[in-house]
């Protein structure tokens, strides 16, 4: 049996209704569900990255690129940043601070 894995974007753009969508219909109405506007917050993006890093580490390295702090005010910094942008292609950029948060979460989960 072959397992097919959708990307996060593919999963959320599929025509099916998620558990969250069903809860919204139950609590509110079908009309409110149909008129909702998609959004993503910084917290949601971090949560998605945490999920990927902890539960799908092989996918994490394919989907994310950690962007270190780069001083883009200098010529060298601009070149380094452009090199990272070229490496990124279809990857999601992840700030080094967020990557550090993910590593701390991972360490704390492994302790238990």
* Chain-centre distance for alpha carbon 25: 26
Low-confidence ranges of the chain (pLDDT < 70): 1-2, 8, 112
Q: Please give the pLDDT value at position 50.
A: 95
> Which pTM was predicted?
0.68
Q: Please give the pLDDT value at position 25.
A: 93
Q: Please give the pLDDT value at position 82.
A: 92
Q: Please give the pLDDT value at position 1.
A: 65
Q: Please give the pLDDT value at position 52.
A: 92
Q: Please give the pLDDT value at position 112.
A: 61
Q: Please give the pLDDT value at position 39.
A: 79
Q: Please give the pLDDT value at position 38.
A: 78
Asked if 92 contacts 65 with a C-beta cutoff of 8 angstroms, the reply is: yes
């Amino acid at each position: 049996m072959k397992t097919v894995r959708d990307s996060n974007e593919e999963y959320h753009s599929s025509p099916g209704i998620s558990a969250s969508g069903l809860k919204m219909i139950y609590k509110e109405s079908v009309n409110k569900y149909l008129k909702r506007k998609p959004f993503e917050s910084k917290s949601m993006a971090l949560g998605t990255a945490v999920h990927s890093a902890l539960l799908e580490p092989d996918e994490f390295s394919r989907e994310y690129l950690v962007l270190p702090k780069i001083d883009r005010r200098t010529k060298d910094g601009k070149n380094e940043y452009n090199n990272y942008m070229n490496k990124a292609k279809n990857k999601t950029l992840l700030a080094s601070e967020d990557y550090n948060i993910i590593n701390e979460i991972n360490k704390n989960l492994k302790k238990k």
